[in-house]
């Protein structure tokens, strides 16, 4: 399975934008890029996903490099509630790995008041 | 009420005991998953089921078994628990991956094996 590389931790100030990077140099053409986050004492929750084009939703934006070897999750205005572990995951769209998500260690985001 | 419910939420048991963790969902999803999370690590897939008659091993299935009793229920069993199975266990569901591919997680079951 293609793997992702994320920084172990990042810090931000409240109400400032946050850019969380993810490298996935071995991504295949059928792999979707997914982001989940895990708040303290909770299960992971879906944030956003994309294939080739940049994506926006109410929670965040996803910027995907043209060669798809990296992506960036953008939180436009961080709040204290955004403090969590953020996981960048590749989802294979076909074959025997269809549908499975492989979580790495993620990035611990700390948001300062 | 939560869409994905796990029971028990916390359990302490002894080495060699049989333990069952249960998961039920009200989302009407066909696909269900069991993950395990250890401190400082991400989630690792134990078993997954794409429908009632389909059960598949994940990355770390040794020492675990599952049962898909119905579309809405997926249970994880430890036939003879050992201390290194102490972890936080998550159940998840998903619908068709033709859509968002979004997984919905339960709140977790914390298991301690003494």
**pLDDT tens digits, residue range B59-103?**
899 999 999 999 999 999 999 999 999 999 999 998 865 556 688
Given A34, A44, A106, which is nearest B105 (Cβ)? A44
In this prediction, residue A96 carries a pLDDT of 47
| Whether pLDDT at A100 is above 80 | no
d(CA A113, CA B91): 33
- Percentage of residues in chain B with pLDDT exceeding 90? 76
Residue A87: partners with Cβ closer than 8 Å, 6 or more residues away: A6, A35, A36, A37, A38, A44, A103, A104, A106, A107, B42
Closest CA to B32 of B106, B98, B84, B86: B106
Tokens of B44: 């690792």
| Whether pLDDT at B1 is above 80 | no
In this prediction, residue A30 carries a pLDDT of 82
d(CA B23, CA B76): 8
In this prediction, residue B99 carries a pLDDT of 53
How many other C-beta atoms can be found within 10 angstroms of the C-beta atom of residue B90?
26
| Whether pLDDT at A93 is above 70 | no
The whole-angstrom distance between B79's CA and the closest CA on chain A is 25
Contact of B53 with B112, CB cutoff 8 Å: no
Choose the weakest-confidence range: A39-43, A96-100, B75-79: A96-100
| Whether pLDDT at A99 is above 80 | no
Q: How high is the mean pLDDT of chain A?
A: 90
B contacts of A94 (beta carbons < 8 Å) = none
| Whether pLDDT at A69 is above 70 | yes
- Percentage of residues in chain A with pLDDT exceeding 70? 91
| Whether pLDDT at A98 is above 60 | no
Average pLDDT over residues B27-37: 92
Closest CA to B23 of A86, A43, A48, A45: A43
Burial of B84 (0-12, 13-18, 19+ CB in 10 A): exposed
In this prediction, residue B2 carries a pLDDT of 72
Given A44, A99, A106, which is nearest B97 (Cβ)? A99
Q: Is A43 on the interface with B (CB under 8 A)?
A: yes
pLDDT tens per residue, range A21-32: 999 999 988 888
Average pLDDT over residues A30-53: 91
């Amino acid at each position: 399975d293609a793997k992702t590389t994320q920084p172990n931790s990042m810090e931000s100030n409240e109400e400032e934008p946050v850019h969380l990077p993810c490298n996935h140099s071995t991504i295949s053409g059928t792999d979707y890029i997914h982001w989940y986050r895990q708040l303290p004492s909770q299960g992971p929750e879906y944030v956003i996903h994309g294939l080739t084009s940049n994506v926006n939703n109410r929670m965040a934006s996803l910027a995907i490099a043209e060669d798809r070897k990296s992506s960036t999750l953008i939180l436009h205005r961080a709040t204290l509630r955004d403090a969590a572990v953020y996981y960048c995951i590749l989802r294979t769209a076909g074959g025997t790995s269809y549908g499975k998500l492989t979580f790495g260690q993620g990035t611990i985001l700390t948001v300062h008041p | 009420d939560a869409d994905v419910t796990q029971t028990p939420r916390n359990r302490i048991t002894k080495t060699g005991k049989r333990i069952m963790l249960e998961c039920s969902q009200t989302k009407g999803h066909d696909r269900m998953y069991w993950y395990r999370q250890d401190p400082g690590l991400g989630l690792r897939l134990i078993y997954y089921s794409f429908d009632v008659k389909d059960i598949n091993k994940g990355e770390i299935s040794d020492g675990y078994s599952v049962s898909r009793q119905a579309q809405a229920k997926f249970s994880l069993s430890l036939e003879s628990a050992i201390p290194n199975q102490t972890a936080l266990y998550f159940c998840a569901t998903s619908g068709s991956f033709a859509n968002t591919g979004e997984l919905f997680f339960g709140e977790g079951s914390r298991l301690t094996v003494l």
